[in-house]
Structure 1
């Protein structure tokens, strides 16, 4: 096992920075910014922990092993001999050989790094229980993709079903590599889409994984996800996180003014006020424009407190500051501050450019895979965040049609087939009533994705934890002194259940 060097970690952080080079919609840029920040924070945590160990004259900390497993491109057609190399990491640092448990961290719609088995809630639990830590990057994301993987004909092998089969194959690989037996209890962990995969791996392969923690897992596919912006509206009104009714009203008023200016044809003023890179040329660009403005709020709510100063409290302090002028003026300030944060000289509102970005087939081995993920929304999940409901505080130009049409324009997938795919996904997995066992669904009430997750106990062993005041996947990070009491309590509850699972599994083995 190679020693973890400072230079290796620095290279990983540099790679994550390189993933921010492309431009696009504000939400995508914010996702990339959060991805970058998480990598940097993980680097700092590992580096300072290592310095502490060296200061205490502890045993030199060693890093995880990176490797690749050759996987079938199509698990369900063995006549297809095509393969791809899937990236994984293994960390033996805390493992109590030979019977210690195995904690599997599941990757999703972005690249993974060594930090997947080095920091986080699952790593804290692994240290406590002497677990072997393993992580698998999702097919078609990061480095787990063939050079021609993004070509339209090859994207058909990207699905959650294939991803679960990858996990089963990886389970066999790890089992053989370490001569594991039934005494090595497997527990899987994931957040967001990987949170769904975590629950589904337990559901579909209960003989392989004993239990699962599914954080912020949108297990119910939904074509028109109007619930997303309902939660956003509630969150920006919530005083617990610095929101207020006054804040929501100011946002609603600002977007009504924007819509009125669009309808009145005052386009050049909007382009100037919000630093559009190009002229707005019709309804498609108008939709991109208002979506970019809505992203400034949707992204902050979803990733509340992830990046210092980029949170609901700060956002609402601006939107309620009458010294800044009208609500429209305050929206301009929000846009300008976001541009400064993202180092943008203008905002790209071109629908044609958005299409070009989604059609690109050249690979980016780090960051979020936008083309791949949009393909999965078209073929499995929907999840389109619209503003066609009266509770939405943004522009009603954000329609379902404008988003589903991309499936046809980019991938040639008919709009009417997307709904059929969403229905199949729910039939296949059971939506938010999966009828499994030994799964914990963890959600925060600020996170818009909780609307598609499991929020109430389904049985004595299919449990739900709902955290007041937290956003997307908040429980998955390592503990910090600034954590809310509700978050600390949730982590303690998760730890108790993990301990019980491992104890029960051991008693079952002894009883055989």
Structure 2
């Protein structure tokens, strides 16, 4: 782990609170068996574009980098995203989260951080001619692709996994929850009845939620720490369950994993199948049985440790933390705001109007979203067609594939598909349980990286 004196504002010159810099955290890593590049060629740099979490999550899980850096002689850099983990531009989370300081939380500032860090490392480590390959998953995948588009003189190529680059503008956000639902069908290895059973359970939940006696019953059935006192509380219960099922779809990996759960509480292999096995135990004609099954199914995530005595409904109904600010400014996608229909998906009708979102963002942050900014900045598919050396991978089990680039655009902007893949499965360490499709995708990604490095070094 190391720290770098980073600029607070890459696009301004005035000090903020008397300072222009802050301490930016990153990890510099090298496998023990690292080879020297052949013929004296400069060693490549594998650069992970940190996203909305502690960067150690990516250090410990990005096996695609670790398993190939040694053979290619690469140095690995994992950069933390400003305002996440321990990288707070104003010293602490509390100070950095003040409304007047959040204006420096943009993806453009983060990309400039990465460009500045790379320039510093190349100079300090005498790696001036080293080609840089960017890696990232989810928002990190978006950053990796945008890094290549915006800084092609710094980044030779990008592996952008599960990156919803098209989840803007006219994109139909209802497609997201339809994609979540697909995991719970036979296409995801589940029973034919699972989706219908989950869909049926919402009716007794909301009908009971309309009366004090019904809310008391729901509080008991779901084992809540605090009683449901209002219809709004019931909406929050439903949202908690929907978001749990969403997270389980993203984390629908073929082996036990803590990537999307607490470190001491791994999700089981194929966790969505476990949800459906619990839902299948319900009687379709018994409302309490349906509610109990919905409780038990969502508990695959909500009580993954099997130690909780009661469930606490989160106060943050955006389920986004400080990421909510990035939604409220640049409309970076957050599924808790996406629409649900109840027929295209297995949930219940839900829609926040633009007016509702604007009101929320104004109240919380004093801003309204710039909904066209990302498209105007990067051009969607048209912008990618003007770029090169980008691999865009997506998975059939990953809801975010609904906003991804799922067709190859050119010889050098390539889409790779993992039918059994949940959220950026291809970036993780190789496992015996991996489906053949992800093994093939990783081979294609490594081949692309070798080509980019060769092009950049004349090899």
Relative to the length of structure 2, the TM-score reads 0.85
Displacement, 1:333? 2.2
1:126 counterpart = 2:59: no
Distance 2:178 2:222 in 1: 25
Structure 2, unmatched stretches of 5+, are: 258-266
Displacement, 1:337? 5.1
Displacement, 1:433? 4.1
Structure 1, unmatched stretches of 5+, are: 1-65, 359-368
1:180 counterpart = 2:127: yes
The 1:422–1:344 alpha-carbon spacing in structure 2 relative to 1, beyond 3 Å, is farther
The 1:382–1:95 alpha-carbon spacing in structure 2 relative to 1, beyond 3 Å, is same
1:110 counterpart = 2:53: yes
1:321 counterpart = 2:286: no
Work out which of the residue numbers 175, 189, 196 in structure 2 matches 1:249. 196
Matches within 5 A, 1:47-62: none
1:412 counterpart = 2:350: no
Work out which of the residue numbers 229, 237, 249 in structure 2 matches 1:301. 249
Work out which of the residue numbers 319, 322, 328 in structure 2 matches 1:378. 328
Q: Provide the aligned length of Structure 1 versus Structure 2.
A: 422
* Local SS of the residue matching 2:85: coil
Relative to the length of structure 1, the TM-score reads 0.77
- Aligned 8 A contact 1:454 1:464 in 2: yes
1:75 counterpart = 2:10: yes
Name the one with the larger helix percent: 1
Partner of 2:151: 205
- How much is the aligned-residue C-alpha RMSD, in angstroms? 2.5
* Local SS of the residue matching 2:434: coil
The 1:458–1:335 alpha-carbon spacing in structure 2 relative to 1, beyond 3 Å, is closer
1:218 counterpart = 2:164: yes
* Local SS of the residue matching 2:209: helix
Distance 2:299 2:421 in 1: 26
Deviates more, 1:228-237 or 1:72-81: 72-81
Distance 2:295 2:62 in 1: 38
Work out which of the residue numbers 379, 384, 391 in structure 1 matches 2:344. 391
* Local SS of the residue matching 1:251: helix
Partner of 1:161: 108
Distance 2:224 2:270 in 1: 22
Distance 1:303 1:467 in 2: 14
Work out which of the residue numbers 195, 199, 202 in structure 1 matches 2:141. 195
Deviates more, 1:213-222 or 1:282-291: 282-291
The 1:340–1:92 alpha-carbon spacing in structure 2 relative to 1, beyond 3 Å, is closer
The 1:134–1:284 alpha-carbon spacing in structure 2 relative to 1, beyond 3 Å, is same
Partner of 1:273: 221
CA distances 1:312-353 after superposition (whole Å, capped 9, x unpaired) = 111111111247964333113224554542443322337xx3
Displacement, 1:502? 2.0
* Local SS of the residue matching 1:208: coil
Partner of 2:271: 311
Deviates more, 1:109-118 or 1:421-430: 109-118
Partner of 2:29: 91
CA distances 1:422-448 after superposition (whole Å, capped 9, x unpaired) = 211121122344321100001101101
